[in-house]
Amino acid sequence: PPRSCEDYWWEWKHCRALRHAFHHYYAHGELPICDRWRDDYEACRAWEKGHSATAQVLERARVMEKQKYAPVWALRKKPPPDWYLPLDQDKPN
């Protein structure tokens, strides 16, 4: 796995903590869903114990899901031609 199993365990513990649950409820209006961290932890342990095929499939699916989203910003190859000019902050629109 790309991370150690203890990382998944601590993320699950943090997600279930009262302080995190209160903050998440305040910010999003719902309690956090922590089942994903527990599932990842169990899959990681299964992979470490016997290189389980189902654990490998779950981990690959998680990594592929994470990689399917494109970046928000388009990366530039070089800076714009007028990058050194001052900004028009003082001018009215």
Domain boundaries, given as residue ranges, for the chain:
5-55
Q: Is the pTM of this model over 0.85?
A: no
Q: To the nearest whole percent, how much of the chain has pLDDT over 70?
A: 91
Q: Please state the rounded mean pLDDT for residues 15-25.
A: 93
Q: Quick one: pLDDT at residue 67? A: 73
37-41, 77-81, 85-89: which has the minimum mean pLDDT?
Answer: 85-89
Q: What is the pLDDT of residues 59-72, one digit of tens each?
A: 777 777 777 777 77
Task: Give the pLDDT confidence score for residue 54 in this predicted structure.
Answer: 72
CB of 15 closer than 8 Å to CB of 34: yes
| Average pLDDT of the segment spanning 49-59 | 73
Instruction: Kindly report the three-state secondary structure assignment for every residue of the chain.
Output: CCCCHHHHHHHHHHHHCHHHHHHHHHHHCCCCCCHHHHHHHHHHHHHHHHCCHHHHHHHHHHHHHHHCCCCCCCCCCCCCCCCCCCCCCCCCC
